[in-house]
Structure 1
Amino acid sequence: MSAKAISEAKGKELLNKFLIGSVKNKFAVVKEDTDLESLTSQHSWLESEKLVCKPDQLIKRRGKLGLIKAGADINGIKEWLGNKLGKEFHIGACKGRLKNFIIEPFVQHQQNEEFYICIYSHRTADTILFHHEGGIDIGDVDAKAVKLEVPVGSNLTEDKIKSTLLTKAPDNSKECLTKFIVSLYTTYRDLHFTYLEINPLVFTGGKIYILDLAAKIDQTAEYLCKAKWGEVEFPPPFGRDALPEEAYIAELDAKSGASLKLTILNKSGRIWTMVAGGGASVIYADTICDLGGTSELANYGEYSGAPSEQQTYEYANTLLGLMTEQIHPDGKILIVGGGIANFTNVAATFKGIVRALREYQQKLIEGKVAIYVRRAGPNYQEGLRIMRELGNTLGVPIHVFGPETHMTSIVSMALGKKEIPQSPKQMHTTANFLLPTGGSPSSSRRESLSEVRTPSKTSSLSQVVTGDESGTRATRTLFTNRTKCIIWGMQQRAVQGMLDFDYVCSRKDPSVVAMIYPFTGDHKQKFYWGHKEILIPVYKSMSDAMGKHPTADVLVSFASLRSAYDSTVEVMSYPQIKTIAIIAEGIPENLTRQLIKIADERGVSIIGPATVGGVKPGCFKIGNTGGMLDNILASKLYRPGSVSYVSRSGGMSNELNNIISLNTNGVFEGVAIGGDIYPGTVFLDHIMRYQNEEDVKMIVVLGEVGGTEEYRIIQAIKDGQITKPIVAWCIGTCAKMFTSEVQFGHAGACANAEAETAVEKNKALKEVGCYVPTSFDELGQVIGDLYKKLVNDGVIVPQEEVPPPTVPMDFTWARELGLIRKPASFMTSICDERGQELLYAGIPITDIFKEDMGIGGVLSLLWFQRRLPRYATKFIEMCLMVTADHGPAVSGAHNTIVCARAGKDLVSSLASGLLTIGDRFGGALDAAAKQFSDAYESKLIPMEFVNQMRKEGKLIMGIGHRVKSINNPDKRVVILRDYAQKNFPSTPLLDYASEVEKITTSKKPNLILNVDGFIGVAFVDLLNNCGCFTREESKDFVDIGALNGLFVLGRSMGFIGHFLDQKRLKQGLYRHPWDDISYIMPETTGLMGTDTDNV
């Protein structure tokens, strides 16, 4: 969830800092462990003023509940707290402990001096509510308060406030209130509040006082507001204490590019879930509650966004630890569920789950746990296989199902509502169906893009309806089989998936014409078009990409949440782009609303943010939509059907592809508008396009709890704008069954009013004639029944199936599936960098550090002309050890080995390796030291430094690793970091770099401070603080390349080792194999001029 509630104390702290026009709030926070005596010594006003005390735990209507003590002295407050602090309190069906209180000075005033003000944000504007009579008896605010709308991008004026909001306010208060409201709104907008309510707001004695406050801020804006916000804690809803395990998962989530969420609802419950996907997790919770399992549901959570095996293991390990703490007499149920993944490697995540299950084997047996598994997506066959194999040895029953089984059927099986099939129906496709067969084309694999064409034989696949690409946004066809797009971001896997989809749809040419990546120079990337290799240009500049590809009208943006806004604004300055898909999740709400405003003004359709995209079978697919080709073929997405759908959830869109293909003739078009609270386009935008599309015969809508967009569909049906039959279901029906608020997987999945609940939406949709199932379990049946009716009525005429062309499997994916093997090009016996820890000749690097070598002392004398302290020489030795080698695959070692095998001498071979050291390999120490030092000395806070580098299009040197990540740390960096922190006098630059690392790893877990970057910043700390050098001398050593010298010297040991190793192994002359070289010859037509033979 992006909008999160903050404590009243934090809200008032922020207003104290930035708000002008009101009296600064004095307050003291009391917790269960607070010493009230020491508190009074810290806040002297507690003993001299009358006070107000109240709980600060997101409790509404505290005055009505008797939870405010007003006008008492400190002794009265202490006595009142003695009866409240730490005690259990009931609010309706919810109960919890009162453990956080806030004490403030009591403001003496009259009832007629109380006002009410509230600011909240929505899609097109910020709304300000004001009432001249505030306090606990205000009643129905929406009916009483005056409302002022401030459109997105507009400013609030004093005249507008006076003429709209303050017409009934006392004359003597209007001037002060006007200036206060202007300042309050400015602060609200600048600090990215999403909700701010003050009741009462008091004007007395010519001054304004803020008494009670409730607020929410946009958590995704942290990278913009960190310096202003400071440290922010988001308290849990009253009635649910945050467990350490929940905090641990939240920490993992913050450090990961994936999404990991866990909420414990009932620690003693017997039904536990571990579900992949934000939308799927809600549906599983719905189904459990629908089948009577509400009181036994133990948790809500989800993992998504392609978490690694290690991250999934940590998540599963935490969940199983909680699950097995208590034994239930009836045993427990673990549901490992999920939809059909678009890009998550199912086998990798399942390996993490299997590891955790094995570790808890005995406790699972003792707890009589039964496990039910349903999953599909990339490499799901391998994932299900290892899960079935685990079932043979784990000692508890494991029931495993794939896409042949309806997603939530395992819930009915687990709760005894449906029989468990002994041998589930298997899908016809398998992971290896893509391997070339005897019927595959035998043409050359390598051709230029200009030669790319599908087989000349035409088929019905290529006769897809192209649609009208002109017209207004409401009627314009977004995608046709001629659509050309540009990709923002270096996403080779997604691009290859799009090209494979194009090929299997029998498009004449690829849909992707260019890529934009501002962090490198212009170049070309190699991809496959069927069996052939093609080149797609990559541009640093967007203007170059647009200018050279004027027919491209779609942009798919894989920009990060920090880059997405600026890059999208730039994209919309080019009129040729009509559709933009924004994949990133976590763009601040204010920025998203700005994008929507600009897009509306320029007639651009935005799909997303926080989406996987969409698909139009036979025409075009966005990024990773639809998953791998086995799922695309199984769901018949290579040719159009008669059903169009729109969903919020990207993961559930793939599940809809499967459900629709199993029950109808397939999908005509499907769009996932995105899970953020403000999607760029809404349900109705796409439904109206489907209404105007002749080949769409029925529509499926998958809505969710929160928001009111479904009511716009209802109104359009009432107005006669929508006449085609709609099957609709809103997920999140379980929300009303929980006693405390639960934030589901999507930012927008949170009801703020009764009408926004899924139950009310489903009821309203059914009342206007939509086909609404009783649960998600029945969605496929309802879709199938409507389809059969339309076929019987002659509305839909099923077409004959045409087999799509075959597409070969990628080498890397085939190797991962174990379908092929490749002989190694090199042999080595001195270094292995593949495991958890670097090995030199089989000895772990940590063992090597146990020996006391004196080379550091020698080096300090030769290089620095000083005898450095022992901790400094030890650190130098450690730097040389960890830089000595990193395997035979890097460029320097590769050169040394090739020279050695050619019979060259040691010096020549070593030189060939050393000459490869530079900015791209090994030479980042100096650059990292200079970059971080300049930022630190310029007093840029880490967030400003990261933002500045992004705006300048520069990489942060010393950040990033191919293999290691924040969750799988580089042991070399861990060792050096521990030593430096324990032994150096101080490490200010290292501490600064560590704060930068926290920011970069929150974007992508492998953007860690690598060994080059660590040595660079740590050595600057050593030079500056060891007491042996002046600042000028330290700077000179960095400028002349001393730090890179550490790498050159250290790596020379490894290069010499490789030379000796090849000689000892008597390796012969190396020649690179032809099949590992791509021969791309230029076209020869016209290059030779006139045929001179005929002159």
Structure 2
Amino acid sequence: MVAGGGASVIYADTICDMGGASELANYGEYSGAPSETQTYEYAKTLLSLMTSSSKHPDGKVLIIGGGIANFTNVAATFKGIVKALREYQQLLKDHQVKIYVRRAGPNYQEGLRVMREVGQTLGLPLEVFGPETHMTAIVGMALGKEQRVQRVTVPTASHHHTHTTANFLLPDSHDTPQNAPAKNLGSPLSSRKQSMEEGAAKASSTSSLFTNKTQAIVWGMQNRAVQGMLDFDHVCSRKTPSVVAMTYPLIGDHKQKFYWGHKEILVPIYKQMADAMNKHPEASVLVNFASLRSAYDSTMEALQFPQIKCIAIIAEGIPENKTREILRAAHEKGVSIIGPATVGGIKPGCLKIGNTGGMMDNILASKLYRPGSVAYVSRSGGMSNELNNIISHNTDGVFEGVAIGGDRYPGSTFMDHVLRYEAEPDVKIIIVLGEVGGREEYDICEGIRSGRITKRMVCWCIGTCASMFTSDVQFGHAGASANAENETAAAKNKALKLAGAAVPDSFNDLGDVIRDIYTELVGKGDIVEKPEVTPPTVPMDFNWARELGLIRKPASFMTSICDERGQELLYAGIPITDIFKDDLGIGGVLGLLWFQRRLPAYATKFIEMILMVTADHGPAVSGAHNTIVCARAGKDLVSSLTSGLLTIGDRFGGALDDAAKQFSEALDTGMIPMEFVNSMRKKGQLIMGIGHRVKSINNPDKRVQILKEYVKDSFPATPLLDYALEVEKITTSKKPNLILNVDGFVAVSMVDFLRNSGLFTREEATELIENGVLNGLFVLGRSMGFIGHYLDQRRLKQGLYRHPWDDISYVMPEQNM
């Protein structure tokens, strides 16, 4: 279960290289920041296949691997996998499944912590590793070929021990002081900073794509990527931001706030690309985040501006004929294209494209804030970040790295970048990570033989496992498929080795080969190690720090009924899909949002019946009247509805809460119905919920009859309703219209439900009533009627209402003549 197109191939390669081809059960990958639901479904599918087949006498192995993610939140994607592991816990035990995890990238620390915890909780044999361990080292452990190993790091001047936590660089008291000479080097620490500035100046006179003064325009509202580029600029000690503008046709001209170190800056955003180009003539790079549907048009438009020298196209899936048109136009204009289907590239000390290099903790850990001696070119964007990690652990770091993209027709080739690196004096080692499919690697072979390439080359083509499959395999990238024998990874690795490149036996050995060559060049004096410079600190964004659990802050609001943040809306913890699947209805949703309970069917139906019988009571009542008057005055729906709702109170519709309190108190204190009636008369108070202007004992309210019949048949107990009906006998004996009305009936019936359903304690039931939940039922039901009156008046096109003067009694005060 591997994340990333390139990484998935490499894991399959390593398994086959270690003799596990016959035991490899599947090939697949997930990438592109999948949601929790997506990873859950993917993991569930794999675990189902793993546990539905026959058991193996030696047990089974599950590898959850991946490179160092550039922008995927590792902890978020692991949630789906953890959910599937919990679901398949017993089956995994039955099949004796051992699990090995290796992952890194944004929030990987939390992701690995959760994985360790689930292994302990579920009692599963689960080993967890991060970026300190070579990506494929877990394969050897899983197959029993290697013991548990940690990465061996070459000791260089640049590898002082640096603690990093997310975006913070934390000082280490044991590190060499910044102003003191480094041990055994005899040169001041400022030499590396000086070399950075000299390197940038030198690059401007060569074929370098980027310098520390390069300016870029970003197409698309990719605020996170832009902030990442600006943070990289700051940690590289750039004097000015690399992103000078953004352009997006679906939004008007304005300015967007970003952080530049500790302070805030404004980056202009233009609706028209031409405006961005004209106002920023020094910008030479376009980072194009347009989707596959608009990437072609936006790139072709950018090619019309001579100032643009390099375009990075992030989108994948652009039609191949459109890609070829882009490449032809770019070639004619001398513009370098990185992509399509790329994460971009990075030049330490100068510029990073979009999300390349991942979060700040990875940039610091991989020493990407200053140039090293090793340059690389890769097809895979995810593996480019893994190369950053491998190179930083085995050499003095990266000089430049580019991911040309995994599509069949990349905008630039391996050879384009290798020749640029050949021309860079500070590049001493060049690494090429090729793959199965295509013939570009043979150009490198020819370049080595002809002498065009003289620097030390380390090459590896992924996809060696393809020969182990009985049918053609389309790997994660569109171009990763061999159409001839010489396009296989094995054939290209062999040719590169014969040409003179250093080719490891497998990807698992890539770091060792790089380290050996680096150590040799240092010994010869071809590489002079420079002391390390502590980079400027970059403050961590508040939201990210909180997600990592590094800080806490009292929330301004609290809610316990609804959560819209995840992949699915939750009502009181119940997913919206379950609400529809179980047909909870309006009553069920109200139960979740108002009572935080999943109510029984009889209760949800009763609530819906309440809403039905309280929906309207004609245009003459005060609330409907007010709504009609407002509607006829030309007011909008919300204003008209509000005017009607404001009339609800003790005299109109607001008697439910008080009725519930009065009847409950009388019953709870042991008063018999006659005592209750007499006590209310002595107090001079009305019994709320008793009485009706029209209905009487001889002309009963059909609404009450319907509700009474349902409650008596469905409720487990109705002590308060029975008490109220006894009160009604007394009051109607005095006056026929002093019946238990709808308000009173709903009030006492709801109290019976709250107290006798077994879902609430007596205290909880009392609190709900005191909080106004019963009046809420009337408000909700009557709102439907008020809205109906508003729509009715608009439909009838009724004009402004003016009350007739003959229906008004004008009583003027008498005047003394």
Question: Is 2:594 the counterpart of 1:841?
Answer: yes
Q: CA deviation at 1:737?
A: 1.1
Matched, 1:851 2:608: yes
- Render the CA deviation track for 1:446-496: whole Å, top value 9, x for unaligned: xxxxxxxxxx9994475251256778xxx6210000000011011111111
Amino acid at match of 2:94: E
1:860–1:527 distance in 2 versus 1, CA, 3 Å: farther
1:318 lines up with 2:75 in the alignment = no
> Which residue matches 1:700?
431
Q: Secondary structure at the match of 2:375?
A: strand
* Cα distance between partner residues in 1 of 2:504 and 2:513: 6
What amino acid is the match of 1:840?
Answer: L
2:447 match: 716
Aligned to 2:342: 611
Mapping of residues 799-838 of structure 1, within 5 Å: 799-826=530-557, 835=570, 836-837=575-576
Counterparts of residues 59-74 of structure 1 (less than 5 Å) = none
For 1:1047 and 1:540, locate their aligned partners in 2 and report how far apart those are by CA, in whole Å: 46
**Structure with larger RCO (C-alpha < 8 A, sep 6+):** 2
Q: 1:564 aligns with which of 274, 291, 295?
A: 295
CA distance in 2, matches of 1:405, 1:596: 39
Q: Which amino acid aligns with 1:841?
A: W
Deviations for 1:205-258, whole angstroms, at most 9, x for unmatched residues? xxxxxxxxxxxxxxxxxxxxxxxxxxxxxxxxxxxxxxxxxxxxxxxxxxxxxx
Alignment partners' CA distance in 1, 2:349 and 2:299: 27
Alignment-derived partner of residue 116 in structure 2: 388
- Please name the residue that 1:593 is paired with: 324
Match of 2:12 among 270, 285, 303: 285
Q: CA deviation at 1:1046?
A: 10
TM-aligned CA deviation for residue 824 of structure 1: 2.7
Give structure 1 stretches of 5+ with no counterpart: 1-273, 440-455, 863-883, 886-891, 897-904, 908-1044, 1053-1095
Shift of 1:851: 1.4
In the other structure, the counterpart of 1:769 is: 500
Identity over the aligned pairs, expressed in percent? Answer: 69
Cα distance 1:502–1:322, how it changes in 2: closer, same or farther (>3 A)?
A: same
**Aligned mates of 2:150, 2:426 — CA distance in 1:** 41
1:851 is aligned with what amino acid?
E
1:379 corresponds to which letter in structure 2?
N
1:655 aligns with 386
**Aligned partners of 2:107, 2:418: CA distance in 1, in Å?**
33
Q: Provide the residue aligned with 1:363 in structure 2.
A: 91
Q: Distance in 1 between matches of 2:270 and 2:204?
A: 28
The one-letter code sitting in structure 1 at the alignment partner of 2:219 is: W
Pick the aligned partner of 1:497 from 228, 244, 261. Answer: 228
Amino acid at match of 1:512: V
User: How far, CA to CA, are the matches of 2:71 and 2:435 in structure 1?
Assistant: 23
SS at match of 1:661: helix
- Please show how residues 439-518 of structure 1 align to structure 2 within 5 Å: 459-460=193-194, 463=197, 465-466=199-200, 476-518=207-249
Count of residues in Structure 1 that have an aligned counterpart in Structure 2: 584
More helix by share: 2
Question: Secondary structure at the residue paired with 2:100?
Answer: strand
**Which residue in 2 is equivalent to 1:746?**
477
**Contact 2:137–2:149 under 8 Å retained in 1:** no
Identify if the C-alpha distance between structure 1 residues 627 and 831 changes in structure 2 by more than 3 Å, giving closer, same or farther.
closer
> In structure 2, how many angstroms separate the alpha carbons of the residues matched to 1:707 and 1:814?
44
Rounded to whole Å, the distance in 1 between the matches of 2:785 and 2:111 is 42
132, 148, 151: which one pairs with 1:420?
148
For residue 222 of structure 2, what is the amino acid of its counterpart?
Q
Residue type of the partner of 1:463? E
Q: 1:539 aligns with which of 253, 265, 270?
A: 270
Aligned-partner residue type, residue 168 of structure 2: L
Which residue of 2 is the match for residue 84 of structure 1? none
Q: CA offsets per residue over residues 3-30 of structure 1, 9 Å max, x none?
A: xxxxxxxxxxxxxxxxxxxxxxxxxxxx
Please give the per-residue CA displacement for 1:1017-1068, whole angstroms capped at 9, x wherever unaligned.
Answer: xxxxxxxxxxxxxxxxxxxxxxxxxxxx999969x9xxxxxxxxxxxxxxxx
CA 1:861–1:607 in 2, change beyond 3 Å: closer, same or farther? farther
SS at match of 2:30: strand
Residue of structure 2 equivalent to 1:408: 136
Per-residue deviation, residues 634-667 of structure 1 (Å, max 9, x unmatched) = 1000000011000000000000001111111100
- Structure 1 residues 427, 323: closer, same or farther in 2, change over 3 A? farther
Deviation at 1:427, TM superposition (A): 8.7
Cα distance between partner residues in 2 of 1:317 and 1:681: 39
Contact in 2 for aligned 1:558/1:583 (Cα 8 Å):
yes
| 8 Å contact from structure 1 (residues 464, 619) kept in 2 | no
Task: Give runs of aligned pairs for residues 627-642 of structure 1, distance below 5 A.
Answer: 627-642=358-373
Shift of 1:421: 4.8
- How many angstroms apart in 2 are the aligned matches of 1:861 and 1:549? 65
Indicate the residue corresponding to 1:349 in structure 2. Answer: 77
CA distance in 1, matches of 2:489, 2:290: 32
1:665/1:840 Cα in 2 relative to 1: closer, same or farther (>3 Å)?
same
Question: Quick one: structure 1 residues 688 and 435, their matched pair in 2 at CA, closer, same or farther if it must change by over 3 Å?
Answer: closer
SS in 2 for 1:506: coil
**Quick one: which of 268, 283, 296 aligns to 2:23?**
296
Classify 1:365/1:526 alpha carbon distance in 2 versus 1 (closer, same or farther; 3 Å): same
C-alpha contact (below 8 Å) 1:644/1:668 kept by paired residues: yes
CA shift digits 1:404-459 (9 cap, x unpaired)? 111101000111110125999999544356178999xxxxxxxxxxxxxxxx9994
Residue in 1 that maps onto 2:585: none
SS of match in other structure, 1:840: helix
Q: Does 1:376 align with 2:133?
A: no
2:131 is aligned with what amino acid? P
**Where in structure 2 are the equivalents of 1:322-337 lying within 5 Å?**
322-326=49-53, 327-337=55-65
Secondary structure of 1:355's partner? helix
1:679 and 2:410 equivalent? yes
* Equivalent position amino acid for 1:324 in 2: T
Cα 1:398–1:430 change in 2 (3 A) is farther
Cα shift at 1:860 = 13
Question: How far apart are the structure 1 equivalents of 2:299 and 2:370?
Answer: 31
1:333 partner SS: strand
Partner of 1:1090: none
- Equivalent in the alignment of 1:197: none
How far does residue 840 in structure 1 lie from its aligned partner after superposition?
Answer: 3.2
Partner-residue secondary structure (3-state), 1:625: coil
**Distance in structure 2 (CA, Å) of the matches to 1:308 and 1:523:** 32
Task: State the alpha-carbon separation in 1 of the partners of residues 167 and 410 from structure 2.
Answer: 37
Query: What's the TM-score, normalizing by structure 1?
Result: 0.51
C-alpha displacement of 1:760: 0.4
- When you count strand as a share of all residues, which structure comes out higher? 1
CA distance in 1, matches of 2:225, 2:408: 25
Residue 466 of structure 1 aligns to a residue whose secondary structure is helix
Letter in 2 for 1:780: G
Q: Secondary structure at the match of 2:434?
A: strand
Asked if residue 338 in structure 1 is aligned to residue 66 in structure 2, the reply is yes
Q: Which residue of 2 aligns with 1:431?
A: 165
Structure 2 unaligned residues grouped into runs of 5+: 154-159, 174-189, 577-588, 621-636, 648-782, 791-817
The aligned residue for residue 126 of structure 2 is 398
Amino acid in structure 2 at the alignment position of 1:799: K
Amino acid at match of 1:408: T
Give the letter for the 2:6 counterpart. G
Distance across 2 between alignment mates of 1:438 and 1:408: 30
Aligned to 1:948: none
